[in-house]
Structure 1
Amino acid sequence: MTTVTEQTKPPAAAASGLRLLQETARRGAVFILLAALLVLFSIAQPAFLTIGNLMSILQAVAVVAIIGAGVTVTLAIGGFDLSVGAVAASSVMAASYAMIVLDLGAGATVALVLAFGALVGAFNALLIVRLKIPDLLATLAVMFLLTGLQLIPTAGRSISAGLILPDGSKATGKVDAAFLLIGRSSLAGLVPLPVLLMLLAALLLHVLTEHTRTGRLLFAIGGNEVAARLAGANTARLKALAYVLSGTLASLGGIIVAARVGRGDVSSGASLLMDSVAASLIGFAVLGLRRPNVLGTAVGAVFVGVLLNGLTMLNAPYYTQDFVKGAVLVGALALTYGVSRSANA
């Protein structure tokens, strides 16, 4: 009898070790891949792993991470916000219009644009919560609405100093130098301000979603809205909060873009929707949580930024970037869900 027991121990121990290895791979897949990319790119191009380049990567992904954090909140309630890219692009135009045409200062411009983003989020909530329009259809309609609306005040032209308005008059304002500091300044000449804003937004939303009753209710709505309502949650108000946060963060991203480029470019924000969604979905794979989480979204944005920056430094063709981002998204989610499925088999 003792011999049989001793013979069964090694296979059981091996199975337990395999499960532990699979769980480790599932939870740390993104970090393992990120570390591998850092090593590979630094070997291929020594200039990659420098403080200046790493800060450049973080600055490049700051806007995507901030907008993606808003998308993550809507994913938490079981919704989805397709309008964030259009909100960000409209915010770029609105900020430039406020300063160059309306001659407003930096403070008033920032307040106005953030209010604009919150208003769009509230409008999305009205369509979804009150009128019961499916979130994808509602936010898609708002996306098209904003894409067209941002072009009307300037007849489709970008906004810069000396802009000729549709009525033939010339804009007399200019971009406030204090506003440009939002996108171009850095702390101690090292950490760019957009990176600090990204970290602050991620931290605040992480605390809200993971460590407060409101956050738990947001995830409860995403899990089972009827059960959350029967448990006493004001689901309508919480869903509205999610879309207002998403709109406000998208407008913050637009402010950073406007401050970085110093003008209202009609083509700005073209890829922000897909990039922010990609970061949010890669976030599902971080620590194997398999659910929306803000810190995971930030890590996902950094992961994509490292990948694209490394490919650029290696002179990879620009037209391969979307394919690479898609491959990364597929790989990250496959590692998370595929490994988990095999472990449970």
Structure 2
Amino acid sequence: MTTADTEDFPVAKKQPGILIVDDRAARWLGGATAILRSGAVFVLLAVLAVIFALAQPAFINLNNLMSILQAVSVVAILGAGVTVTLAVGGFDLSIGAVAASSVMAASYSMIVWKLDVYETVPLVLAFGAVVGLLNAFLIVRLRVPDLLATLSMMFLLSGLQLIPTAGRSISAGLSLPDGSKATGAYDPHFLLIGRYSLFGTVPVSVVLMLLVAVALFVLTEKTRIGRLLFATGGNEVATRLAGASTVRLKTLAYVISGTLASLGGIIIAARVGRGDVSSGGSLLMDAVAASLIGYAVLGLRRPNVLGTIVGAVFVGVLLNGLTMLNAPYYTQDFVKGAVLVGALALTYGLGRSNA
């Protein structure tokens, strides 16, 4: 090999006691690392899909894929609410309880108060917004730490939802504490929210999930309010000194979170057709998992709505595939946690090594 050939070699050049990596090789390695970091979740999602499809061909059936999206729609909607509170440097632990209370509130409104869908839906959404306002009041005005405030609200709502029915689930013919029986019934139009599919294929709940995702993506990524929300989470004092009202921004974040949690509760109530006191048990952890996986999407390493939706779908694909493979139920949380750790480790670990 001649001297000229050695100088053109694309990997490395040697000097006495020193190995200098060629700039082109370094740039290629850095680019590959960046692609892997930004697409870690998508790579893992594709690998899981291939594995499940090979092991169980019915996995890639269109009906099964739509059932996955329908199953994760509520988690994605709640996770989007968590994402907004994370953007302002907060955290909403009450979303699961708000969703469960909304299931009971929707059922009580129709079964006991005999309201129709056009009265029930606005009422339940308003309930979620009020809870968000109460959370914001505790956090912003009374200076209660966000975790403590929303945890307290979670316990308050978990107990409050049981009082009107003395701890019983709500269904037609419910026996009320005063000895009378409820004579109302679920509005058939309300049930369509959780059971109807557009064109016989796309569930309404999936459409609602996509609408929420698009609306919040535009709000958080494309508007001045969105930039201020992230600025509040990054440096609240600087944002306030710049003239923005961090009080209003935080209040907005928690109201959005509470309203979306109520929307999730409405979908559950419409799907199940009864007010189940055990509903919403795992919604908090699943929504938080989706929002945290969102940090790894596209290597953003910050809360983002698109990432949260992808995270929810990721968890849904994982659980659906494990179920189709008859994996024991007690291993599913472990696998879900292991994949979450792997996705975040790839995003943050590669980012550190590339710094």
* Superposition TM-score, scaled by structure 1 size: 0.98
- Is contact 2:10–2:25 with CA below 8 Å preserved after alignment? no
Match of 1:244 in 2: 255
The letter for the 2-side match of 1:94 is A
How many Å separate the matches in 2 of 1:6 and 1:302? 47
Alignment pair present for 1:262 and 2:267? no
How many Å separate the matches in 1 of 2:26 and 2:338? 31
Alignment pair present for 1:103 and 2:107? no
Structure 1 stretches of at least 4 aligned residues deviating more than 3 Å after TM superposition: 1-10
Please provide the CA RMSD for this pair.
1.3
Match of 1:136 in 2: 147
Match of 1:155 in 2: 166
Residues 195-227 of structure 1: CA deviation (Å, up to 9, x unaligned): 000000000000000000000000000000000
Match of 1:59 in 2: 70
How many Å separate the matches in 2 of 1:180 and 1:324? 34
The letter for the 2-side match of 1:158 is S
The letter for the 1-side match of 2:121 is V
- Is contact 2:121–2:266 with CA below 8 Å preserved after alignment? yes
Alignment of 1:47-126 (within 5 A): 47-126=58-137
Alignment pair present for 1:337 and 2:338? no
Residues 91-147 of structure 1: CA deviation (Å, up to 9, x unaligned): 000000000011100110001000000000000000000001000000000000000
Q: Looking at CA atoms only, which structure, 1 or 2, has the larger radius of gyration?
A: 2
Q: 1:299 aligns with which of 300, 304, 310?
A: 310
Q: Relative to 1, partners in 2 of residues 1:168 and 1:26: Cα closer, same or farther, differing over 3 Å?
A: same
Unaligned runs of 5+ in 2: 13-20
Match of 2:186 in 1: 175
Q: 1:287 aligns with which of 287, 298, 307?
A: 298
Q: How far is the alpha carbon of 1:9 from its aligned partner?
A: 6.6
Alignment pair present for 1:185 and 2:202? no
Task: Give the secondary-structure state (helix, strand or coil) at the position aligned to 2:126.
Answer: helix
How many Å separate the matches in 2 of 1:47 and 1:2? 58
How many Å separate the matches in 2 of 1:255 and 1:91? 6
How many Å separate the matches in 2 of 1:131 and 1:4? 70
How many Å separate the matches in 1 of 2:196 and 2:174? 26
Match of 2:56 in 1: 45
Match of 2:322 in 1: 311
How many Å separate the matches in 1 of 2:7 and 2:249? 56
Residues 255-287 of structure 1: CA deviation (Å, up to 9, x unaligned): 000000000000000000000000000000000
Alignment pair present for 1:199 and 2:213? no
The letter for the 2-side match of 1:64 is V
Task: Give the secondary-structure state (helix, strand or coil) at the position aligned to 1:172.
Answer: coil
Q: 2:46 aligns with which of 28, 32, 35?
A: 35
Unaligned runs of 5+ in 1: none
